Amino acid sequence: MALKQTAGKRIAMTAAAWLVGFLIFFPILWTFLTSFKSELDAFSIPPKFLFFHWTAENYFEVQSRSNYLLFAYNSIVLSVGANVVALLIAVPAAWSMAFAPTKRTKDLLMWMLSTKMMPGVGVLVPIYLLFRDLHLLDNRLGIGFVLMMLNLPILIWMLYTYFKEIPVDILEAARMDGASLVNEIIYVLTPMAIPGIASTMLLAIILSWNEAFWTLNLTTSNAAPLTAFIASYSAPEGLFWAKLSAASTLAIAPILILGWFSQKQLVRGLTFGAVK
């Protein structure tokens, strides 16, 4: 509301908004706090909010209990690797749709979007069997390919909307000067599109990092990322809340920070440009 509000109303609104924000964020904060408690403090009733013996031992035990670093490594390699490859395939496609459109370009874009609508369970069985026969189960290459295909349509869409904003005149000027198509893409288009590409990649990495249908079904140990690592804490072998919290904090912290930087792109990427 651009109109003047009374100071009282503004303070009341601020208090309400902060309270709501705090409540929504609380489970994350609580996980973070619990990760620094001893297992005993983690269970204590009444709960200890800030005044407990702070310890970092859970973080070390998470590593020794199960090889955390391997899962973290897999998460990084898979979410970055799959999307770099996807980007290499998506940039040319987005270029052609933005700068050399044909009558069918729109249909093509819509069709690519439609592949995102297919639920994973619809193709779980054949993919699982194919991967079993090709020895791609629990294999970084296999799950990486799946993650790449899941993001490819989103990457093409987002890049397309960013490329559309680049004035065509500049490309034509380069063409007049005799730049070849490859040079045009590398030296003219790419530098201008870097901000768009960077934010596209950010969103894509977040989505891959948190993907939990295929990673849980197609990996077990060697190629398993952090989603599967956390799932291993669901086994009722005894409750390790502080360790669960430490593992969870490690799994979500990097992506939470990345995510906060990419809020704007999030809206654009996840609604396929339908809400700006």
Partner 1 sequence: MATQQTTIAGRILAAPSVILLFAWMIVPLAMTLYFSTLRYSLLDPDNVSFVALQNYTYFLSDPNFFTALANTLVLVISVLVISVCGGVLVALLMDQQIYGQGVVRLMVIGPFFVMPTVSALVWKNLLMNPVSGLFAWIAKLFGLPAVDWFTNWPMASVIIIVSWEWLPFASLIMLTALQSLDEEQKEAAALDGAKALPFFFYIVLPHIARAVTVVILIETIFLLSVFAEILVTTGGGPGTATTNIAFLVYKQALLNFDVGGASAGGIVAVVLANIVAIFLMRIVGKNLES
Is 176 a binding residue for partner 1 by CB under 8 A? The answer is no
Structure tokens at 134: 């090709």
Q: Which of residues 142-161 bind partner 1 (CB under 8 A)?
A: 149, 152-153, 156
| DSSP 3-state of 35 | coil
102 binds partner 1 (CB under 8 A): yes
Smallest distance from the beta carbon of 121 to partner 1, in angstroms? 4
Q: Is residue 40 a contact point for partner 1 (CB under 8 A)? A: no
Please state, in angstroms and rounded to a whole number, the distance separating the CA atoms of residues 144 and 141: 5
> Judging by beta carbons within 10 Å of its beta carbon (0-12, 13-18, 19+), is residue 166 exposed, middle or buried?
middle
Residue 204 Cβ vs partner 1, minimum distance, rounded to whole Å: 14
Instruction: Assess 276 for contact with partner 1 (CB under 8 A).
Output: yes
Q: Find the shortest distance in angstroms from Cβ 120 to partner 1.
A: 6
Say which residue the tokens 């729109």 belong to: 106
Q: How far is the CB of 255 from partner 1 (least distance, A)?
A: 5
Task: Judge residue 269's burial from the number of C-beta atoms within 10 Å of its C-beta, 0-12 exposed, 13-18 middle, 19 or more buried.
Answer: buried
Least CB distance from residue 263 to partner 1, whole Å? 6
Distance CA 223, CA 143 (A): 8
Q: Is 170 in the site for partner 1 (CB under 8 A)?
A: no
Q: How many CB atoms lie within 10 A of CB 126?
A: 9
- 110 makes contact with partner 1 (CB under 8 A): yes
Residue 206 touches partner 1, criterion: CB under 8 A: yes
Choose, by CB under 8 A, the member of 8, 51, 117, 178 that binds partner 1: 117
Is 199 within 8 Å of 265 (Cβ atoms)?
yes
Binding mask 47-86 for partner 1 (x = CB under 8 A): x---------------------------------------
Distance CA(36)–CA(54), nearest Å, equals 5
81: three-class secondary structure by DSSP: helix
Residues 228-267 that bind partner 1 (CB under 8 A): 228, 230-231, 233-234, 239, 241, 244-245, 248, 251-252, 255-256, 258-260, 263, 266-267
